[in-house]
Amino acid sequence: MFQLYYWYVQSKVADALLVLDESGTIYYLSLGRWDLLVDLAKKDFGRKREYDLSPGKERFKNKMITRTITHVKQALDHPLKASVSCKGLKYKFVFGTALQKDVWTFLIERVGCGETSTYSEVAKQLGRPCIARQVGQACEANKIAVIVPCHRIVSVSGDLTGYRWGLNLKKYLLALEKHADQT
């Protein structure tokens, strides 16, 4: 049984529920209302027998946990700095299929701040030109908001076809990052 803690992080962009372990590795980052997020996280992790999810307490805080929380808060306060502050940030995918994990890893490693890509382009880069739709599925299934930059993936026509945490937030994040890129 592996112990995980959840913390509530407030920021300008959105309020978030962050799940991490005692080494500061991120498992989950969801946006929205606190009460709803906790229920959702409990439900998600409840299906995983190997993890125990408990509320984060001040007395549990160590250096690595504090560091990750600070960086996540910074990333949410200033998404423009996300790609910088996320460097060296550890994360782990405990949900999702092999393909979905491949997509998420690709997004983190290859789609930087200020950039956008398309579902079909990501598919192509993964060597599977015909799985654009599955790339969309992977984005929808993503459990680590903002850190896995699903918001940077748009349709080939440039439309913002969907965002798990609200299209307005996607639009807002992209505008913020684009603006930041010019400085």
- Tokens 């959702």 locate to 40
Q: How far is the CB of 96 from DNA (least distance, A)?
A: 7
Q: Which residues, including other chains, have CB under 8 Å from residue 12's CB and lie 6 or more apart?
A: 76, 77
Instruction: Return the residues of window 50-109 that contact DNA according to CB under 7 A.
Output: 97-100
Site membership for DNA, residue 48 (CB under 7 A): no
Q: Which residues contact 83 (CB under 8 A, 6 or more apart)?
A: 112, 113
- Tell me whether residue 150 is one of the annotated catalytic residues: yes
Interacting residues with DNA between 98 and 157 (CB under 7 A):
98-100, 118-121, 128, 130-137, 139-142, 150-151, 153, 155-157
Quickly tell me which residue has 């960086």 as its tokens: 71
- Which residue of 15, 116, 162, 178 would you call a contact of DNA, by CB under 7 A? 162
CA-nearest of 154, 72, 139, 151 to 104 is 139
**Is residue 161 a contact residue for DNA (CB under 7 A)?**
yes
Comparison of 56 and 155: residue with beta carbon closer to DNA: 155
Closest CA to 145 of 58, 41, 64, 23: 41
What are the residue numbers of the active site?
A: 150
Binding site residues, DNA, CB under 7 A: 97-100, 118-121, 128, 130-137, 139-142, 150-151, 153, 155-157, 161-165
